[in-house]
Amino acid sequence: MKILVTGSFGMVGHAIQMVVENDEKLKAKYEWVFISSKDGDLKDPVQAKAIFDKHKPSHVIHLAARVGGLFSNLRYNLDFFRENMAINDNVLNFSFQNNVQKVVSCLSTCIFPDKTSYPIDETMIHNGPPHVSNFGYAYAKRMIDVLNQGYKVQHGKNYTSIIPTNVFGPHDNFDIQNGHVIPGLMHKTYLAKKNGEPLTVWGSGEPLRQFIYSLDLAKLIIWVTFNYEQTEPIILSVSPKDEISIKDAVNMVTKSMDFQNKIIFDTSKSDGQYKKTASNLKLMKLLPDFQFTPIDKAIKDTCDWFVQNYETARK
């Protein structure tokens, strides 16, 4: 069996490569093909078709997407929608045309309705509009679930999707303007420490998030690829009881990087969605013994990786 991983040179793709490289059974049993945008533009159907015709995978882990942080989404909602719709339609269409057995696509908790009860679960995706800050990205990701259901009903195909909570880890995008919260904090802390300046954090620090370490997510995605048989999405997340505030994350990052200067929370900046607590009950019923990396260790390991790889890290 041949496993094609799209978007494999992003954070999650790198994590899957690391997990595979350290697991002799995974390396021996399957052929793994890791591709990035350098191998072809998945927005373009001609280039997407060429990729599938060349590799002829039996399974696809679909990670490729246009992604960005809060302020990037606010500015480019239309672009996020159109580009991700094109990518996703091409990947699923050419998976079908090449008789791919299983496709696992990566969604996000931002697809859930803004006005909802908590914790959110897999049945609630289409219950209302997403938060206005990233409606373009969110609706494009929701449509993967619609496509999966369509391929199941019309063609009997076994395509599914996973919904991770906020992911971080080595090879993340540490861009301060367009990256996500933890990598952005790490970069800002690094620079503030280097320059002997206060650390300014955008927002109040009060919003709550569940964070998942990229290496934990990689292991779960591989498990889903070979063991999860439902079309309906599955949330991959730590428990709601492990939710932390942005302020908690700031404290863990600054401790990990031995930052001693003043911390300022700039409340003139948007907090975004206050909370999006997700239930992981479905996952825990299917995989009750999975052990997540403790958040403080995962943050420390990621900080260490970023400092050691500062010159080459995406930022």
CA angle 60, 64, 65 (to 5 degrees): 140
What is the residue whose two structure tokens read 């909370």? Answer: 275
Quick one: DSSP state of residue 142? H
Task: Give the list of residues 6+ apart from residue 160 with CB closer than 8 angstroms, or none.
Answer: 102, 103, 104, 105, 148, 224, 228, 230, 231, 232, 233, 234
Q: Which of 76, 118, 137, 213 is catalytic?
A: 137
**What is d(CA 223, CA 281) in angstroms, rounded to the nearest whole number?**
16
Alpha carbon distances (Å) from 115 to 141, 232, 281, 295:
18, 22, 21, 28
From the list 239, 254, 253, 243, the residue with the least C-alpha distance to 285 is: 239
Check if the beta carbon of residue 19 is closer than 8 Å to that of residue 222: yes
Task: Please confirm, yes or no, whether 76 is among the known catalytic residues.
Answer: no
Q: How far is CA 71 from the centre of its chain?
A: 17
Check if the beta carbon of residue 223 is closer than 8 Å to that of residue 59: no
Check if the beta carbon of residue 29 is closer than 8 Å to that of residue 232: no
**What is d(CA 155, CA 175) in angstroms, rounded to the nearest whole number?**
41
Active site residues: 137
